[in-house]
Amino acid sequence: MKLFNSMGPNPRLVRMFLAEKELEIPFQEIDIMGGENRKSPYTDKNPLGQLPALELDDGSVIAETVAICEYIEEVHPSPAVIGANPAERAETRMWTRRVELNVTEPMGAGFRYSDGMAMFKDRIRVIPEAADGLKAQAQDGMARLNSMLEGKEFLTGSRFTLADIVLFSFLDFGKMIGQPVDSKNELLQAWMDRVAARPSAESSQ
């Protein structure tokens, strides 16, 4: 199998997941700045044109970051980054969804509708009047997560999981697009520092 890779937080989170799994697979770089992901032959494999995407040995393609990570863990269950049993997997999925709904989705849309609009306006529908509200929503989500990190090392407690990887990849991206973690969210910033110190955070940059 191989990963169609590019710049951005979504491909980075899959690279970080692979590093935590201690797996190496071939990458094929796709030029998103040049729009290579929005035309054939890439769209023949992933019609939505998003990155990353995972091509399996039989030629079939899995898109969407969480689905890719879920597949990788299914075929390479150890070390477990989603969970070693049903309860752990459910807990990770719960936190991953909370992160997506409250932070990463509004953060990404807020960027695409404002600072990144020049790149995205001819590729997707952009809603510039929604940008400020979406950015504020992402900040609200960060504040809620900050309050839920009391006494925890990672989002689920002591386990480092896919949920942490998704959140870290986007918060690290947020620093570059004018949506950093507010300094008052000290627990969240301490969590960021812990994750940034992991080898997978460095190797996935």
Are residues 68 and 150 located together in one domain of the fold? no
d(CA 201, CA 195): 7
Are residues 192 and 91 located together in one domain of the fold? yes
Residue by residue, pLDDT tens for the chain (205 residues) are 999 999 999 999 999 999 999 999 999 999 999 999 999 999 999 999 999 999 999 999 999 999 999 999 999 999 999 999 999 999 999 999 999 999 999 999 999 999 999 989 988 899 999 999 999 999 999 999 999 999 999 999 999 999 999 999 999 999 999 999 999 999 999 999 999 999 999 999 9
Last residue of a domain, one of 51, 75, 99: 75
Are residues 21 and 115 located together in one domain of the fold? no
Are residues 99 and 160 located together in one domain of the fold? yes
What domain range is 101 assigned to? 86-203
Q: Tell me if the pTM is above 0.85.
A: yes
Q: Specify the pLDDT at position 156.
A: 98
Q: Specify the pLDDT at position 36.
A: 96
* CA R_g for the chain: 17
Domain of 174, CATH number, reads 1.20.1050.10
Are residues 113 and 163 located together in one domain of the fold? yes
pLDDT (tens digit per residue) in 81-138: 999 999 999 999 999 999 999 999 999 999 999 999 998 998 889 999 999 999 999 9
Q: Specify the pLDDT at position 201.
A: 98
Burial readout 103-118 (b: 16 or more C-beta within 10 A, e: otherwise): bbbbbbbbbbbbebee
- Residue 75 in 3-state DSSP? helix
d(CA 194, CA 138): 21
Residue 144 falls within a domain, yes or no? Answer: yes
Domain of 10, CATH number, reads 3.40.30.10
Residue 81 falls within a domain, yes or no? Answer: no
Residue 80 falls within a domain, yes or no? Answer: no
Are residues 55 and 111 located together in one domain of the fold? no
